[in-house]
Amino acid sequence: MGFNNQGTTEMVKRLKKRKPGIIIGGNIGKNKNTPIEDSAKDYEICFEALFDVVDYFVVNVSSPNTPNLRTLQEKQPLTDLLLRLKKLNNLKTHPKPILLKIAPDLINEQLDDIIEIVLQTKIDGVVATNTTISREGLKTSKEAVERMGAGGLSGKPLTNRSTEVIRYLSTKSNKAFPIIGVGGIHSPEDAMEKLIAGADLIQIYTGFIYEGPGLIKRINKKLLSIV
């Protein structure tokens, strides 16, 4: 597993060719083989390399596909990491927004820590949520699921939990920071639930596979119908 791709250098080459007017977020994380105690260096390398070709950054400490990555969600390591990136950002002439991407598997006490960290470090918001390590509610047999192996589960099994996390963060923080809602959005109704729960924006990944790009049009029509 890990973040399998051709690396930051190749990504920069491709992003330099993008058409103007398209908003791009740089989702940065540590390499699979980087010791956890050296992980901040990977984030800094990605941040510096991508700065000129992305519009905002997502600090990914929540993917279950990279061993030990989620330990960076613990309060002190996460605070230290975000402060380091914030310091780098503040050295730029035009700083970019920095958001934190969190797991749906965090308990409420951990979400309370996330709120405190976001307010303390003064980053620009939260992406809620990443994929889940839970396998609850699946129709496939437990044995078959276990044979498929570890990794993050996305799509409809994530819909309710990601909405719960959005609602908790929004309510408990009194909407103190923007939230990008993501996780199991397969219909206009799913999108509305995220927005009503407190999301300011939404992202779609798995929904594109099963519903196609027309899902965006259906969501927009739904939003326009209630404005």
Residues designated catalytic = 63
Biggest CA–CA distance in the chain, Å, is 54
> Do residues 73 and 102 touch, judged by C-beta distance below 8 A?
yes
Cα–Cα distance, 81 to 10 (Å, whole number): 25
Strand boundaries in 61-124, DSSP class E: 98-102
Token duo for residue 176: 């103190």
How many Cα atoms sit within 13 Å of 142 on the Cβ side?
Answer: 2
Sign of the alpha-carbon torsion through 128, 136, 2, 159: negative
